[in-house]
Amino acid sequence: MKFNYLMIAAVLFMTALTSCDLEDVLDKVELNQDVTVNEIFEVNLTANDPTTFSEERTFSTDVEGLEITKIEISELTYTVSNYSGDPQNLSLEVWFGDNAEMGGVTVDGAILENGSSDLLLLVSNLILTSWENYLLGNPEATVNVSATIDEVPVTFDLALNMTLKVTGTKK
């Protein structure tokens, strides 16, 4: 008798399993993937150049096969390397998008001697949320870096490193 109940339960389970389309279930599962963005800005200002530097870079937030529903910036750091010059003061500004209206982060007295800093520690939650919303709506996003240095000539590499936690469902 016990065997009959187990057999009936197994048949019912298999019937229920085959009536649900497994592909439909998998399409609804949220997936997370980290996207790493590393941009290196080579700053080379000669004695005749102005004491400012500004550059824009475009990067992709797209993950193949994923319908993105959320983007979180989990890491945003800058690193100065290969520094050569006499200037002692650097003012650095970083923002996303075509203009700085959504807010940016400014670092006065940024580390010049081959050091790095965590920019997320300097950003308000409001600005961080506006950046993440911008990235969600722009699979080809732009990041802007502007620097003012107290004197030229100067040469250094400025690396901007970002890790995005991308969440979405299968396309």
Residue 90's pLDDT is: 82
Nearest Cα residue to 45 out of 36, 37, 55: 55
Q: What dotted CATH number matches 30-170?
A: 2.60.120
**Burial call 153-171: b when 16+ CB within 10 Å, e when fewer:** ebebebebbbebebbbeee
pLDDT score of 89: 79
Inter-CA distances, 104 with 18, 108, 119, 145, Å: 52, 13, 10, 10
Average pLDDT over the chain, rounded to whole?
A: 83
pLDDT reported for residue 25: 54
Please determine, for residue 1, whether its predicted confidence score (pLDDT) is greater than 50. no
- pTM of the complete model: 0.78
Decide if pLDDT at 57 tops 60.
yes
Tell me how far the alpha carbon of residue 6 is from its chain's centroid.
Answer: 52
Domain boundaries, the chain: 30-170
Amino acid 50: pLDDT: 94
* 87-110 per-position pLDDT tens digit: 677 888 899 987 666 778 888 776
Q: 6-10, 30-34, 89-93, 112-116: which range is least confident on average?
A: 6-10
Report the SS3 class of residue 6. Answer: helix
What is the side-by-side order of every strand in the sheet holding 154-170? 30-45, 154-170, 66-85, 116-118
Query: For the ranges 12-16, 42-46, 114-118, 122-126, which has the lowest average pLDDT?
Result: 12-16
What's the pLDDT at 104? Answer: 84
